[in-house]
């Protein structure tokens, strides 16, 4: 009876494919828990032309950045579940999925603390220039300096400065709390009404005019696409700083590069770009005072562990429904 039950269980396991596992699991995480409840095939990366072949015969598909549109779904009638290994859902045609009865899940809020932390990693690097001075010390410049203290850049205290936030979702609010702890005034462009007394809701124009630092925490929708542009940058103080750990499409990269080069604003910290990786180049690559990290705000081990656990829980819920 045991072998019969085991055969029945194995024979009826859902077939599941993970199309782009590597950025999530890397070398330190794995899908072993998921393999206990499904017949799992994993790929580190999947090219667009490989998607249909790798999804053929699969009941469930997990994807991070591999696009699954209506044309792909049409050729995969067995597929009944798509799990997005991220918060944003733009990689899946949701209307087509609904029409075809395909369940789609995403994973919000897993990286809230990590993204807010990266906002301030960029901001603190800009105002304190830790990388710059550490490199100078290792190059021996401090050792041959005439004084006990050495500086060749402005150093800026955040207390008393104004943090402007576009969006007050999970990461926006977490960033606001850190800014408040630093003694910054916090203003935000938000539709929320019930705000702490230390957050002031302002118009978009007033936020760009008043803020010393603008940090982006809104979804990429038509109203927010390229919200950082020549017009909004023109409203900012010359000492202004832009931080984008949200979506690359929120920034007009040409306009931002021009503002940085002309001195219209002081600096930018960027973790996301319009094209990732930026294989065709970008006006921000090599731009003075633009500090760029390769889309890693979400990728602390703690955040990835949460993402993996939630993804597996979503799969279990679908299988057990």
Active site residues: 247, 276, 295
Residues 126, 122, 120: CA angle, nearest 5 degrees = 110
Residues 6+ apart with CB under 8 A from 52: 72, 75, 76
Phi-psi region of 185 (alpha: psi -120 to 50; beta: other; left: phi over 0): beta
Phi-psi region of 241 (alpha: psi -120 to 50; beta: other; left: phi over 0): beta
DSSP letter string, 161-200:
-EEEEE--SHHHHHHHHHHHHTT-EEEEE----S--TTEE
Residue with tokens 């021009």: 258
How far is residue 279 CA from its own chain's centroid? 19
Token digits of residue 18: 């993970």
């Amino acid at each position: 009876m045991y072998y019969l039950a085991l055969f029945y269980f194995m024979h009826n396991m859902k077939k599941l494919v993970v199309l782009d596992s590597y950025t999530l699991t890397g070398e330190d995480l794995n899908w072993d828990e998921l393999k206990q409840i499904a017949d799992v095939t994993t790929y580190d990366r999947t090219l667009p032309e490989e998607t249909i072949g790798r999804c053929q015969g699969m009941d469930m598909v997990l994807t991070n950045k591999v696009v699954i549109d209506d044309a792909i779904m049409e050729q995969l009638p067995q597929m009944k579940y798509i799990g997005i290994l991220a918060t944003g859902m733009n990689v899946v045609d949701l209307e087509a999925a609904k029409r075809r009865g395909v369940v789609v899940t995403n994973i919000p809020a897993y990286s809230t603390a990590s993204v807010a932390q990266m906002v301030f990693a960029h901001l603190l690097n800009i105002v304190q220039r830790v990388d710059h001075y550490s490199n100078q010390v290792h190059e021996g410049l401090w050792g041959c300096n005439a004084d006990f203290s050495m500086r060749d850049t402005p150093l800026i205290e955040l207390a008393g400065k104004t943090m402007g936030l576009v969006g007050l979702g999970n990461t926006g609010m977490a960033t606001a709390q850190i800014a408040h702890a630093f003694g910054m005034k916090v203003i935000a462009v938000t539709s929320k009404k019930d705000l702490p007394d230390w957050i002031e809701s302002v118009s978009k124009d007033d936020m760009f005019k008043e803020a010393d630092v603008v940090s982006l925490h809104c979804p990429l929708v038509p109203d927010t696409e390229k919200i950082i542009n020549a017009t909004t940058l023109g409203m900012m103080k010359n000492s202004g700083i832009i931080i984008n750990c949200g979506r690359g499409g929120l920034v007009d990269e040409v306009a931002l590069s021009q503002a940085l080069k002309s001195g219209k604003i002081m600096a930018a910290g960027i973790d996301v770009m319009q094209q990732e990786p930026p294989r065709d180049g970008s006006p921000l690559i090599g731009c003075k005072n633009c500090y760029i990290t390769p889309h890693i705000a979400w990728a602390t081990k703690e955040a990835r562990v949460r993402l993996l656990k939630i993804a597996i829980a979503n799969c279990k819920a679908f299988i057990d429904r």
